[in-house]
Amino acid sequence: MPLARVKSSETLPDLPPNGRRFAPWSNTDPHSMKITRNSVVSFHYTLTNAEGEVLDSSRGHEPFTYLQGSQMIVPGLEAELEGKAIGDKFVAVVDPANGYGDFDNSLLQRVPLDRFGGQQVEVGMQFQAGEHSVVTVAEVTDTDVLVNGNHPLAGVTLNFDVEVTGVREATAEEISHGHVHGPGGHHH
Ligand code: ZN
Give the separation between CA 37 and CA 175, rounded to whole angstroms. 10
- Rounded to the nearest whole angstrom, what is the distance from the C-alpha of residue 131 to the centroid of ligand 1? 24
- Rounded to the nearest whole angstrom, what is the distance from the C-alpha of residue 83 to the centroid of ligand 1? 25
Give the separation between CA 108 and CA 136, rounded to whole angstroms. 10
The structural architecture, per CATH, of the domain 105-148 is Beta Barrel (2.40)
Cα separations in angstroms, 63 against 41, 66, 80, 126? 9, 10, 17, 27
Query: Containing H/E element for 68?
Result: none
CATH of segment(s) 39-100+154-177: 3.10.50.40
Which distant-in-sequence residues (6+ apart) come within 8 Å of 12 by Cβ? 21
Domain boundary assignment for the chain: 39-100+154-177, 105-148
- Rounded to the nearest whole angstrom, what is the distance from the C-alpha of residue 107 to the centroid of ligand 1? 34
CB 153 within 8 A of CB 93: no
How big is the CA angle at 133 (ends 127 and 137), to the nearest 5 degrees?
35
How big is the CA angle at 180 (ends 177 and 185), to the nearest 5 degrees?
125
Q: What is the pLDDT of residues 137-171, one digit of tens each?
A: 999 999 999 999 999 899 999 999 999 999 999 99
- Rounded to the nearest whole angstrom, what is the distance from the C-alpha of residue 70 to the centroid of ligand 1? 13
Residue 23: pLDDT band with limits 50, 70, 90: very low
- Rounded to the nearest whole angstrom, what is the distance from the C-alpha of residue 67 to the centroid of ligand 1? 11
Residue 24: pLDDT band with limits 50, 70, 90: very low
Kindly tell me if the per-residue pLDDT of 18 is higher than 90.
no
Residue 32: pLDDT band with limits 50, 70, 90: confident
Q: What is the pLDDT of residues 79-95, one digit of tens each?
A: 999 999 999 999 999 99
Record the pTM: 0.73
Residue 123: pLDDT band with limits 50, 70, 90: very high
